[in-house]
Amino acid sequence: MIKGFRGTSVVDYPGKIASVIFLGGCNWRCPYCYNVDLVLPERLRELPDLSEEEVLSELRRREGFIKGVVVTGGEPTIWGRRLRGLLERIRYETGLEIKLDTNGSNPELLERLLEAGLVDYLALDFKTAPSRYEELGGRFEPVKRSLELLKGLDGRAEVRITVVPALVSEKEISEMMPYLEGIKRVALQKFLPDVPRLSPDLPGGYLAKEEILTLAEKIRSTLSTEVLLRV
């Protein structure tokens, strides 16, 4: 399950120095995904597994320096009970705060993890207009329910939108906007076109900073939401 570990990051957990744990596998195939090694089974098999013991001991070694742990993927929620077990160990054996990254495809599990107090910060990737989710190999219905969950979390959650020109333009943002109502924090992230992708046919290019600012303003003015720019 655990395929990677980064000891220190200052960009993955808002406001905290954190370690990052990468879980392998994903139930979707977003064309712009750059985590190819963590997603394609034939590539994933080549990556050695890390044990929970190893990772927990790395976390303990950084006690006092890191303040949080980010659990990311791939898509962490495909691991169900095993993900819960890992979060419980992090929570009870280190006391560190936990951020979970997700594509939102498993709202039932997210709800149970939140109820159990195992997630301090939830980041959900809202990838394109609902009508285009099938292009990612996913369905929007569960994502819609996950977005509803985020609304109750106030400052403990964010929706991230990676501005991939082929999937996120003004038209898609207009379709996404109603589902962002009530979300307290939205982060727009720049798409980096020069990294190897799951789909080599994905049209290249990226939006200029000014174009992303225009999208941010549209969201901010319509929804009164905090919009962070990671560009």
The half-sphere exposure of 153 on its side-chain side, counting CA atoms within 13 A, is 25
Which one of residues 5, 14, 17, 29 is an interface residue with ligand SF4 (CB under 6 A)?
29
Gyration radius of the chain's alpha carbons: 17
Which one of 24, 68, 73, 76 is in contact with ligand SF4 (CB under 6 A)? 73
Q: Minimum distance between the CB of residue 196 and ligand SF4, rounded to whole angstroms?
A: 12
Which residues in the 77-136 window bind ligand SF4 by CB under 6 A?
103
26 part of the interface to ligand SF4, by CB under 6 A: yes
Establish if 12 lies at the interface with ligand SF4 (CB under 6 A).
Answer: no
Q: Which helix (H) or strand (E) holds 229?
A: strand 226-230
Give every CB contact of residue 10 below 8 A, 6+ residues apart in sequence: 17
What 3-state DSSP class applies to 78?
A: helix
Backbone angles phi, psi at 68, to 5 degrees: -155, 170
75 binds ligand SF4 per the rule CB under 6 A: yes
Does 68 interact with ligand SF4 (rule: CB under 6 A)?
no
Query: What is the separation of C-alpha 48 from the centre of its chain, rounded to a whole number of angstroms?
Result: 23
Tokens coding 129: 């207009």
Task: Establish if 190 lies at the interface with ligand SF4 (CB under 6 A).
Answer: no
**Parallel, antiparallel, or unpaired: how do β-strands 68-72 and 16-23 relate?**
parallel
Interaction of residue 19 with ligand SF4, rule CB under 6 A:
no
User: Among residues 22, 28, 121, 191, which is the contact residue for ligand SF4, using CB under 6 A?
Assistant: 28
Residues that bind ligand SF4 (CB under 6 A): 26, 28-30, 33, 35, 39, 73-75, 103
